[in-house]
């Protein structure tokens, strides 16, 4: 008789901190609920599940009856709960103290709410660095799951990956289960009968365990999967096929781990899953990597060579996207500042805000929107600004500071008062790269530069792999679809930052010339003075706003322009509007041109406040939505990042001094 193979099946449920309530509702109704209810009918099918802490809190609040079913399944020994960082951080990019705090918080929550303290942990995005071992071990985590690809990169063969291995770091031990990539691509996309037959084939080959742990959202949220998994019965057919097979037995990871011995010691390289290796590279390198992979597949040697076609690592996102790096370094600085605060002055809300600022989703971009989604970045900045404001109340800092926070070799000057903060990078542009309102907990400079992405060439080539050949359905990794019409100018990369007060002069007979050679002349109080020899620029933080004053030398001629990119939470939705001379000329998502404007109000109901623009000299004001193009599981889409206000003055028609003011207004 063939020895049954142990199917170790785990699913990972996660929604980003700050995601829209309607998205969570749909995810639960189309995925989490039907999955739980289906598995509840089969007590003999054992599996593991991980819910990120923020999502679990939401489900416990809104759907306690479904969570009660999950607890019942835990109590009867059917389900094993996996831990992780509470807000789903990438553990490798936060400090040890926060790794321990995040993992402990979720473990405590699982034990209290669902009746089981986890022994295993889901490693966010399967990002492996050996530095995470001590914190996991110190929080009583005994094992984690990573991709089999990680092991192949360490020299293991696929035939060896049917159990768990042991690693160590700094005197701590951690066991590692290799997730099968073959199973990740089969479940639930190939027909249920084929999936069961594949497991039986592994049993016939003498494999001891089949390890699967992947996103539960593949079971109902990804395109076509709800109909496939539930309406057409994939999940029921798979469960019943597994339970009916004498060659397969389902086990919890904990039971297998307790009964089996380690296969030996292993040391894994710094790596994530294979798709991530492409996503994290800059476009030219990512295209070269994709071509290498495609060539290896076409020549039939990818299975042999993929361990040596490694691509990039997760931290490349921080060097590739300056917006991601800035958020990350701001978060790290506040974590260090909180750590230095005496324990009796720390408040629980401060740690809550720090952990929300560490949620991974807004820091990177691959198949899913991530960094490209303004509401996810907004959630991170909401937490950052909230924490900084709370720290300022009990740990006073100078009103003006200079640091190179983002480690790019150029200092940033922070100007702040009780209500606002403006940050100017000394990179020659003299533009404001962060503009925070503490009462609104919002960064008005939270935009995104448009840059070339590796998947843009699929748009240029007009590729479309949305049709799937065979009897199953296509994985989102294999689909190319379009949610919006993408035009060439939508893909044009920015050459200058998307900040506030990005200046240029257009000669009467030429193209605009960027003013990007400003050098700092003076720092006094909450003001900075710059000059490029022709234009003097003074940035001053006021009690409730920001003033920028320009003085033009006699040699300055032509049309002076400045661009103000404002992140307004309503984006191109109906809750945002311009108000000009008592009327509404349009919303933020519309192109609006006003001649001889002196004042403009930007009202935003999502923000719960407004920004008032006041000019000392009338300007031609042109507003346009700033869109970027990104990919998602549903297709290529255009996403509004900011409102771009372009102000222009013919220098011959104005006095040689010009003042532009932004006043932040909030509802009491």
Is residue 315 domain-resident? no
What element of type H or E holds 240? helix 234-244
Q: Domain of 228: which CATH number?
A: 3.20.110.20
Residue 641: both structure tokens together: 């990042």
User: 468 pLDDT exceeds 70?
Assistant: no
**C-alpha separations of 126 from 9, 270, 314 in Å:** 16, 10, 10
CB of 189 closer than 8 Å to CB of 195 = no
User: 172 pLDDT exceeds 50?
Assistant: yes
User: 617 pLDDT exceeds 80?
Assistant: yes
Residue in this structure with the two tokens 């998307």, named with its chain if needed: 498
pTM of the model: 0.94
What are the tens digits of pLDDT across the range 405-441? 999 999 999 999 999 999 999 999 999 999 999 999 9
Distance CA 640, CA 642 (A): 6
Q: Domain of 622: which CATH number?
A: 2.70.98.10
Number of domains, the chain: 2
Catalytic one of 72, 111, 125, 663:
125
Is residue 631 domain-resident? yes
CB of 528 closer than 8 Å to CB of 413 = yes
Is residue 195 domain-resident? yes
What are the tens digits of pLDDT across the range 119-164? 999 999 999 999 999 999 999 999 999 999 999 999 999 999 999 9
Catalytic one of 57, 215, 427, 648:
215
205 burial class (0-12, 13-18, 19+ CB within 10 angstroms)? exposed
Distance CA 603, CA 624 (A): 16
Active-site residue, 657 included: no
Is residue 423 domain-resident? no
Is residue 288 domain-resident? no
Q: What is the pLDDT of residue 481?
A: 55
**The last residue of a domain, from among 272, 294, 310:** 272
What are the tens digits of pLDDT across the range 558-578? 999 999 999 999 999 999 999
Kindly report the CA angle at 451 between 446 and 455, in degrees rounded to 5? 120
**The last residue of a domain, from among 272, 306, 323:** 272
CB of 556 closer than 8 Å to CB of 601 = no
Instruction: Look up the domain containing 249 and give its range.
Output: 5-272
Q: Mention every residue, 6+ apart, whose C-beta is less than 8 A from residue 426.
A: 410, 411, 412, 413, 520
Residue 28 DSSP class: I
Is residue 488 domain-resident? yes
Kindly report the CA angle at 125 between 123 and 131, in degrees rounded to 5? 50
Rounded to the nearest 5°, which phi and psi values hold at 658? Answer: -135, 135
Is residue 335 domain-resident? no
Is residue 359 domain-resident? no
Active-site residue, 194 included: no
**The last residue of a domain, from among 272, 287, 306:** 272
CB of 506 closer than 8 Å to CB of 558 = yes
CB of 345 closer than 8 Å to CB of 414 = no
């Amino acid at each position: 008789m063939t020895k049954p193979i142990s199917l170790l099946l785990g699913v990972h449920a996660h929604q980003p901190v700050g995601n829209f309530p309607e998205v969570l509702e749909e995810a639960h109704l189309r995925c989490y609920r039907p999955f739980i209810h289906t598995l509840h009918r089969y007590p003999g099918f054992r599996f593991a599940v991980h819910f990120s802490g923020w999502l679990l809190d939401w489900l416990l609040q809104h759907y306690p009856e479904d969570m009660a079913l999950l607890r019942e399944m835990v109590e009867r020994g059917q389900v094993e709960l996996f831990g992780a960082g509470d807000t789903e951080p990438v553990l490798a990019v936060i400090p040890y103290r926060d790794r321990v705090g995040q993992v402990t918080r979720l473990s405590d929550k699982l034990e209290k709410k669902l009746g089981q303290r986890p022994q295993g942990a889901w490693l966010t995005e399967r990002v492996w660095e050996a530095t995470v071992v001590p914190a996991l071990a110190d929080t009583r985590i005994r094992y984690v799951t990573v991709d089999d690809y990680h092991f192949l990169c360490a020299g293991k063969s696929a035939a060896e990956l049917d159990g768990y291995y042991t690693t160590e770091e700094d005197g701590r031990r951690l066991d590692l289960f290799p997730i099968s990539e073959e199973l990740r691509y089969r479940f639930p996309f190939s027909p249920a009968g084929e999936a069961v037959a594949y497991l039986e084939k592994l049993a016939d080959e003498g494999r001891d365990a089949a390890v699967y742990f992947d996103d539960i959202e593949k079971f109902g949220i990804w395109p076509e999967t709800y109909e496939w998994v539930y309406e057409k019965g994939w999940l029921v057919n798979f469960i019943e096929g597994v339970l009916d097979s004498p060659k397969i037995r389902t086990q919890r990871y904990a039971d297998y781990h307790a009964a089996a011995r380690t296969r030996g010691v292993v040391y894994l390289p710094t790596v994530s899953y294979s798709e991530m290796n492409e996503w994290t590279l800059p476009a030219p390198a990512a295209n070269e990597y994709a071509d290498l992979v495609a060539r290896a597949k076409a020549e039939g040697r990818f299975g042999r060579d993929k361990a040596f076609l490694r691509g990039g690592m997760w931290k490349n996102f921080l060097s590739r996207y300056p917006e991601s790096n800035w958020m990350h370094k701001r978060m790290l600085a506040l974590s260090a500042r909180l750590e230095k605060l005496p324990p009796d002055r720390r408040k629980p809300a401060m740690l809550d805000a720090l952990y929300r600022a560490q949620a991974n989703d807004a820091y990177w971009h691959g198949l899913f929107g991530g960094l490209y989604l303004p509401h996810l970045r907004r959630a991170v900045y909401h937490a950052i600004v909230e924490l900084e404001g709370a720290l300022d109340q009990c740990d006073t800092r100078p009103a003006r500071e200079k640091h190179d926070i983002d480690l790019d070799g150029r200092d940033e000057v922070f100007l702040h008062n009780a209500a606002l903060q403006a940050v100017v990078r000394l990179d020659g542009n003299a533009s404001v790269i962060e503009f925070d309102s503490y009462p609104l907990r919002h960064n008005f400079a939270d935009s995104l530069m448009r840059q070339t992405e590796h998947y843009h060439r699929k748009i240029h080539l007009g590729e479309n792999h949305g049709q799937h050949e065979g009897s199953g359905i296509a994985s989102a990794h294999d689909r190319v679809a379009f949610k919006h019409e993408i035009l060439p100018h939508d893909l044009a990369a920015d050459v200058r930052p998307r900040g506030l007060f990005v200046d240029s002069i257009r000669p009467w007979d030429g193209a605009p010339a960027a003013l990007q050679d400003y050098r700092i002349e003076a720092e006094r109080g909450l003001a900075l003075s710059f000059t490029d020899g022709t234009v003097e620029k003074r940035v001053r933080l006021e009690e409730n706003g920001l003033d920028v004053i320009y003085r033009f030398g006699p040699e300055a001629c032509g049309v002076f322009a400045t661009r103000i990119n404002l992140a307004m939470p309503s984006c191109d939705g109906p809750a945002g509007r311009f108000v000009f001379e008592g009327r509404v000329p349009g919303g933020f998502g519309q192109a609006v041109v006003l001649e001889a404007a002196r004042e403009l109000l930007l009202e935003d109901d999502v923000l719960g406040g407004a920004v008032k623009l006041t000019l000392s000299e009338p300007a031609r004001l042109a507003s346009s939505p700033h869109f970027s193009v990104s990919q998602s599981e549903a297709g290529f889409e255009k996403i509004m990042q900011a409102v771009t206000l372009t102000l222009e003055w013919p220098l011959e028609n104005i006095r040689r001094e010009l003042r532009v003011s932004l006043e932040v207004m909030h509802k009491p």
